[in-house]
């Protein structure tokens, strides 16, 4: 019998991409744990016959323990994301991102799971003097979200060191792509850009728009998640999950306008609290140790994302 896999946050935009990747790569049984706080069952529509969906909160130890029993790998992606949300309302994200992650690790250990791959965040680096950001740098979290995600990493490492549960943490760098939900003010900036572009309205850039990000296409991240579970000898490690490039918001908005053949000058607002100025991943460790090989250039990723939004109701 094929091994059982579990994805927490599997109805989210990254989690559902991972579920599709796992199935495409031959997985037999995939269980999703999602409380649908920000995920949508519609994200799993194409694969629903091959997925066992549990509408469950990751803070529910008993439920997790039961769902995790017999699983080989767990990808822990469930979280309350967003830097500004964690500043405006820090209690829920603290509870889910720290206590929920602890609970996932505890249940995985008790259920004798082989390995947990954890979705950490590039926000943990904060502002660094040097780019690209490499795993050996001392973290400087600038927001509750960044700190919460870093605590999760430390917990992963402790569970490996103290309890023998294999863990691998991947610091996701601004993931974008189809199905990213643009409906909240806390939504990822590229999902908001897509919405504005297709509605022919101008987005608001916080600050001068010259902050930069290593935007990483969701399918590349999903493939790296799979490799992080399969690669032997990397338990307890943390890797950047980025593309290795860097674009400013002004540059991306210009590229998108050009693709659509429109002119929509952006609006500019005050800078956002807790915002990191520049972000770019050193991908050497992920490439050499996990075989990370991103396939999507920025332009390809933007084009396929735009194509999806054009056909979706957003």
Q: Are 127 and 276 in contact (CB under 8 A)?
A: yes
The single-letter DSSP state of residue 99 is I
Residue closer to ligand UD1, measured from CB, 121 or 167: 121
Tell me the window of 21-29, 87-95, 117-125, 300-308 that interacts with ligand UD1 (CB under 6 A): 117-125
Tell me the window of 156-164, 172-180, 229-237, 302-310 that interacts with ligand UD1 (CB under 6 A): 172-180
Q: Is 120 in the site for ligand UD1 (CB under 6 A)?
A: no
Beta strands in the chain (DSSP E): 4-8, 29-33, 51-54, 71-76, 115-121, 166-172, 175-176, 204-206, 212-213, 216-217, 237-241, 247-248, 267-269
Q: Is 275 in the site for ligand UD1 (CB under 6 A)?
A: yes
Partners of 30 in the β-ladder: 5, 51
Shortest Å distance, C-beta 247 to ligand UD1: 11
Residue closer to ligand UD1, measured from CB, 43 or 240: 240
Q: Is 93 in the site for ligand UD1 (CB under 6 A)?
A: no
Environment class of residue 276 by beta-carbon count within 10 Å: exposed (0-12), middle (13-18) or buried (19+)?
buried
Q: Is 111 in the site for ligand UD1 (CB under 6 A)?
A: no
Collapsing DSSP to helix, strand or coil, 115 comes out as strand
Which of 125, 145, 155, 247 is flagged as catalytic? 145
Partners of 116 in the β-ladder: 74, 167
Tell me the window of 51-59, 162-170, 184-192, 290-298 that interacts with ligand UD1 (CB under 6 A): 184-192
Catalytic positions? 145
Residues that bind ligand UD1 (CB under 6 A): 81-83, 121-123, 172-174, 188-189, 192, 203-206, 211, 213, 249, 272, 275-276, 279
């Amino acid at each position: 019998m094929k091994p059982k896999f579990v994805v927490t946050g599997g109805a989210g935009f990254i989690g559902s991409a991972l579920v599709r990747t796992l199935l495409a790569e031959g997985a037999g049984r995939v269980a999703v744990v999602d409380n649908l706080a920000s995920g949508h069952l519609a994200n799993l529509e194409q694969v629903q016959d091959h997925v066992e969906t549990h509408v469950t909160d990751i803070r529910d130890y008993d439920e997790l323990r039961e769902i995790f029993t017999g699983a080989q790998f767990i990808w822990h992606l469930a979280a309350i994301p967003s830097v500004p949300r964690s500043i405006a309302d820090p209690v829920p994200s603290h509870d889910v991102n720290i206590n929920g992650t602890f609970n996932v690790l505890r249940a995985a250990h008790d259920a004798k799971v082989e390995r947990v791959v954890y979705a950490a965040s590039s926000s943990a680096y904060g502002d660094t003097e040097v780019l690209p950001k490499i795993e050996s740098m001392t973290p400087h979290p600038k927001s509750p979200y960044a700190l919460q995600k870093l605590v999760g990493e430390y917990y992963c490492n402790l569970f490996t060191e103290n309890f023998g549960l294999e863990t691998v943490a991947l610091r996701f760098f601004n993931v974008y792509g189809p199905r990213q939900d643009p409906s909240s003010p806390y939504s990822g900036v590229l999902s908001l850009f897509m919405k504005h572009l297709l509605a022919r309205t101008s987005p608001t850039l916080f600050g001068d728009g010259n902050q930069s990000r290593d935007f990483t296409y969701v399918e590349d991240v999903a493939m790296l998640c799979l490799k992080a579970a399969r690669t032997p000898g990397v338990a307890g490690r943390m890797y950047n999950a980025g593309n290795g490039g860097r674009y400013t918001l002004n540059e991306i908005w210009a590229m998108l306008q050009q693709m659509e053949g429109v002119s929509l000058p952006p609006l500019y607002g005050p800078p956002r609290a807790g915002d990191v100025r520049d972000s770019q991943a050193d991908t050497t460790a992920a490439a050499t140790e996990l075989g990370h090989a991103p396939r999507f250039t920025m332009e390809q990723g933007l084009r396929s994302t735009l194509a999806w939004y054009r056909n979706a109701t957003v």
